[in-house]
A = this chain, B = another copy of it.
Amino acid sequence: MDELQQQVEENILWLSSIGGTKSGGITRLLYDDQWITAQNNLKEHFEKIGLEATYDEVGNLFGRLEGSKYPDETIMSGSHIDTVVEGGKLDGQFGVIAAYLALDYLKNNYGQPLRSLEVISLAEEEGSRFPYAFWGSKNVWGLAKKEDVLDAKDIDGVSFSEAMNKAGFDFKQSTDRRTDIKSFVELHIEQGNVLETLEKSVGVVTDIVGQKRYTVTLTGEANHAGTTPMNYRRDAVYGYSQIVSQTIDYAKTLGDPLVVTFGEMEITPNTVNVVPGKVSFTIDCRHTNGQLLELFTKDMENIMRKVAKENDLTINISLWMEEKPVPMNESLVEVIKRACSEAALDYHIMHSGAGHDSQIFASFVPTAMIFVPSIKGISHNPAEDTTICDLTKGVRALIATLYKLAYEE
């Protein structure tokens, strides 16, 4: 068996055992015992393979290989080690494992790099213990504010600072940013089914989508299902059905990368023989182009208001999440494409439909992402998986990219 492939397999197995659940998944939440064990074991491992391992104040872990010629130019790679509750064994930690395996491979095969190489094991991305996501990367870039998490409590009532202090960490004293980081490359599973469907092993990410999320309430009148003629009704579900079908039909005519999802819905009174008087539902809408996302959601709002008016329903549209799209760095994307080509790795140019640490890094340093396929697109679930062959191809793509960035003039 290929040695790198064996290392990928063994390292995923090893790190997955920390916080591993009966169902075969992982639950490892910010600052909990599994998280502490994982970070500490990673630190030991970084040191073992010859990296200079350090924590920052909040618990982001770094493993550094100093550059010979440009030590103050750091090429960084990594991802997060926290999971959702009953998450899979790849989302996040695969990017950390891939990064230190890449550094180890490069050091063993090519010696000291010209530029410094660093692996980062980010403290937190998922927002699954406390209602705050990107705690790790936002701290790297001085964006995390103490007051944003001070009132946060986990499901057991433990406060953010209590959990943090117990793990041996504390808030950052300064918002100083590192100026040595020149590039950030994150390897991650796709969490979708595009690469699998196209039978590609590597995705080169050009954009992370922007998102808008809404809650909409349609209010009509609850009436007796038998005694209320069709034309006397103000049926909220009928309005809802028109909104969903018309919006999705319209989105389909516009095509990729636009996606729109009606994921949550609640009918009142939700009784077989009562015409529904009220429907509340959510909309999740994403696009890589901020302007097109704006245009679409404007059209969507018009569809909704028109349907509401036609059916004598009152409508309340509430936008509660808005994240701008984040383009990856074009030059860095070109480096990854060239690296893949030279390593004879067939890749697919794509966007990310999910949010990632890279979107935080991208505002400050040239950033790009590499994807590997997700079997059946499953993620945030113990069934989350990728073939070992595809995982290894992803690590090879990362090695080839980091070589170009850190070893070439």
> A-side interface residues toward B, CB under 8 Å?
190-194, 197, 209, 211, 213, 223-232, 235, 237-238, 240-245, 248, 251-252, 255-265, 267, 270-276, 282, 284, 286, 352-355, 374, 377, 379-380
Contact = CB atoms under 8 A, between A and B. Distances in A.
A290 to B, nearest CB: 15
Given A231-B252, A232-B197, A225 B264 contact: no
Contacts of A231: 252, 256
A255 B245 CA distance: 23
Given A241-B245, A244-B238, A224 B353 contact: yes
A223 B353 CA distance: 12
Given A193-B228, A251-B230, A271 B265 contact: no
A359 to B, nearest CB: 12
18 contacts: A190-B227, A192-B227, A193-B228, A194-B227, A213-B272, A225-B286, A226-B286, A227-B374, A227-B377, A229-B353, A230-B255, A237-B244, A238-B244, A238-B262, A245-B245, A264-B270, A264-B272, A265-B267
Nearest to A354: B226
Contact of A273 (B248, B251, B284): B284
A259 B228 contact: yes
A224 B273 contact: no
B275 A224 contact: no
Given A193-B223, A228-B377, A232-B197, A275 B257 contact: no
Contacts of A237: 244, 262-263, 265
A194 B245 contact: no
B192 A228 contact: yes
A12 B283 CA distance: 49
Nearest to A189: B227
Given A262-B276, A271-B263, A272-B282, A352 B191 contact: no
Given A209-B226, A224-B380, 14 more contacts: A190-B227, A191-B224, A194-B229, A194-B232, A211-B226, A224-B377, A228-B353, A229-B353, A230-B258, A238-B262, A241-B241, A241-B242, A261-B273, A265-B270
Nearest to A321: B272
Please state the number of chain copies in the assembly.
Answer: 2
Contacts of A263: 225, 237, 267, 270-276
Contacts of A244: 237-238, 240-241
B274 A191 contact: no
Nearest to A213: B272
Nearest to A269: B263
Contact of A275 (B229, B261, B380): B261
Contacts of A256: 229-231
Nearest to A275: B261
Contacts of A258: 230
Closest CB pairs A-B (n = 5): A192-B227, A226-B353, A241-B244, A227-B353, A225-B261
Nearest to A274: B263
Given A194-B229, A379-B224, A248 B238 contact: yes
A217 to B, nearest CB: 15
A107 B46 CA distance: 103
A248 B241 contact: yes
A265 B286 CA distance: 26
A282 B68 CA distance: 70
A190 B227 CA distance: 7
Contacts of A241: 240-245, 248, 262
Contacts of A271: 263-264
A248 B225 CA distance: 13
Between A197, A273, A355, the greatest number of chain B beta carbons within 10 A of the residue's beta carbon is seen for A273
A11 to B, nearest CB: 25
Contacts of A264: 267, 270-272
